[in-house]
Amino acid sequence: MKRILTSLAGAAAASLIGVEIAAADPPAAAHRPNSLGADWRQQQDEARQGVRQRRLMPLGRVIETLHRQTGGRQLDAGLEYEGDRAIYRVRWMTADGRRVDYMIDATTGAILSGH
């Protein structure tokens, strides 16, 4: 009887480990080129490459400037394009709790909208 309980406990532990591994492995959809995850990674890669080539201002510097000028904190940020113009879209929570979507020229750091 003791051997059966030990085997059952081992099988239960193995199945729990399998569940944890499956939960840690991202779904196959995250690896598809059209998934949201791939778009996000592509934005990051484009931004990093632009900063390395000195075409784009580092997003960290843009965030620091917004924080100094407005207070509050960043909620989200991404790289977008209006035609050939690279723009950082930064969702921001102001000190008084309002959400502001800033559009910032990624080349110059100038705030285009969201004042």
In which domain, by residue range, is 86 found? 2-113
pLDDT tens, position by position, 52-102: 988 999 999 999 999 999 899 999 999 999 999 999 999 999 999 999 999
Q: What is the C-alpha to C-alpha distance for residues 59 and 48, in angstroms, rounded to an integer?
A: 9
Q: What band does 105 get if pLDDT is binned at 50, 70 and 90?
A: very high
pLDDT tens, position by position, 3-17: 444 444 444 444 333
Q: What is the C-alpha to C-alpha distance for residues 53 and 37, in angstroms, rounded to an integer?
A: 24
How many structural domains compose the chain? 1
Global pTM exceeds 0.75: no
Q: Which helix (H) or strand (E) holds 70?
A: helix 59-70
CATH number of the domain bearing residue 37: 3.10.450.40
